[in-house]
Every structure is written in C-alpha cells, then in structure tokens.
Amino acid sequence: MDKIPVSVVIVTRNEEPRLRKCLDALGDFSDIHVIDSGSADGTRAVAESSGAKIADFSWNGRYPKKRQWCLDNLDLAYDFVFFVDADEILTPALCNEIRRLDWSCAGYFVKGGYVFEGKPLQYGLRNNKLALFNRQKMEFPVLNDLDIPGMGEIEGHYQPVLKAAFRGARIGQLSESLLHEAHGDAEGWEKRHRRYAQWEAAMDRRRAWPSDPSPTRRLLKRLFKAIPFRPWIAFTHSYILKRGFLDGARGLRFAISRARYYRMIAHARRNPERGGAAPTPGTA
C-alpha cells in the first residue's frame, strides 16, 4: 500500500532500549525523523539502522523548544506531523485509522494506552494528546516557564495551539490507542515524575498554562485543578470510573501511581523549595 502522508518526528536523548520497537512499528510511514540531543548510548546507531533521517538538537535555553524547533527547521515531506515518543508504539489498528482520515481537521487527539509492568492495560486511565496535526495551522505556544526547574528542552504537558489565522478550525479525535511504555523501573519513574511535579506546581502557581484547544477539556482541567484531594480523585477516576479494577492487581498499582503523582504535585505546591518529593515515598 502507499505510505501514509504524514511526517513522523521522534525526539530522543539516550533512548536506545526503547527506540527499536518504536521505529519497527512505523513501516506505514516513509518520512521518519529522529532528532537527538547528544545521546551517549546507541540511540543514533538504532536510528541509522532503521533508515530514519537524523538531526542534532542543542537547546539554547530559550524558545523555541525542541518540538517547535523541529517544525521550524526540519525538511519535512508533509504538512501533517505526528510527534511520537521513543517509548510509544503505533498499533496496526491506529495506522489503519490514520490512513483512512480525510484530513479535514487541523489536528487530531490520539489516545495513549499504557503498557504497565510489561503488559498493556485494558482499562483505567488513558492519556489523550494532540500529537497529529497540520504544522501550517498549529504551533507550540511560548510560555513563561524558562526559569522553572523541572522541565527543559522539550515542551511540557500541554497541547499545541491553533495559529491566529486558523482559530476556530476543527480538532478531531482518533479512537485507536497509541501504546505507551511510560513507567520503566521504579527509580526512573520516581525521578522523572518528581521533576514533572515540580514544573507543574510552578505552572499552576503562575497560571501559565496555555488554553487547551478543546473547550470540554479546558473546562475539565479547570475543575480538576480547583478541587481538593486531587490524588484520591485521580485514583478513583482510574480505578473505579475507568474500571481499572478489571485489570486486577496491575490496575490497582497503576491507579496508585497516578494518585502518587498528584500527591507529588500537591507537595511541590506547598513546599516549592523541596520540589515534588513526597514525604513518604511508595504510598499514594
């Protein structure tokens, strides 16, 4: 079959253990770019062996950050760009759904199905990000976060936005999931999410978040940030409302990990000098 008319962009730094599976799932795409930030492992060798186009990125501490830099500087074959993380794997079902799109929307939200403890979860939380979009119509916003510890060269936990000339353009939603092997070892999870929590807490204090392109998501986010007991709300949402209990013990442990992350954010809000370190590690 003809290749899907989308440029796939993967941003990397020391992603050798995960990158091979990510690239192996992209056979339906011909324009694949790996943008590397000085990896010290075999990331570049893996990318080269796959036939992907490779570019180097060195952040200067200012905007644009890495993903917008890709949109501005890479020689992309197509206007539609799909940002895929090295720990994400496209399923054949998702590739087929993308192939059938009529491309009438400025961008498309893509659901993420978590791989937890080595196996995909069938229930529980699904993230949802605007990872597939038309680079002529959307861009990553410039935010007041350059002096916030916790994040760096890559845009954080927010969505690209419509350019001024395309305000009001439609945003679509894909139904198939992108597998996300996000947890890894416990020590790595702890370190990574403590850093995320520190950044998110500072963004909350500054009210620096961009407006989500989906009005419904915008309202839900505003409500969620305003309610107390967010860790327990996150646990209940994943384990009860999203039926995470049907995944058995793995579903329970995953829901606890979500509660723990929001507990890190709450702690970072109260104690900005200590970052996202929770007072009692290993609990929700």
29 - beta bridge partners?
4
The DSSP secondary-structure symbol of 119 reads E
| 12 neighbors 43 (Cβ within 8 angstroms) | yes
Could you give the CA distance from residue 260 to residue 203 in angstroms, rounded to a whole number? 19
Task: Tell me the pLDDT of the chain averaged across its residues.
Answer: 91
Closest CA to 2 of 34, 31, 33, 23: 31
Share of the chain above pLDDT 70, in %: 93
pLDDT, tens digit, for every residue of 161-197? 999 999 999 999 999 999 998 666 667 778 888 988 9
pLDDT at 277 over 50: no
More confident residue, 272 or 216: 216
Question: What is the set of domains in the chain, with CATH numbers?
Answer: 4-274 (3.90.550)
- Name the amino acid, one letter, at 200: E
pLDDT bin (cut points 50, 70, 90) of residue 281 is very low
The DSSP secondary-structure symbol of 248 reads H
| 253 neighbors 259 (Cβ within 8 angstroms) | no
Q: What is the pLDDT of residue 221?
A: 86
Main-chain phi, psi angles of 179, to 5 degrees: -70, 135
Could you give the CA distance from residue 84 to residue 146 in angstroms, rounded to a whole number? 24
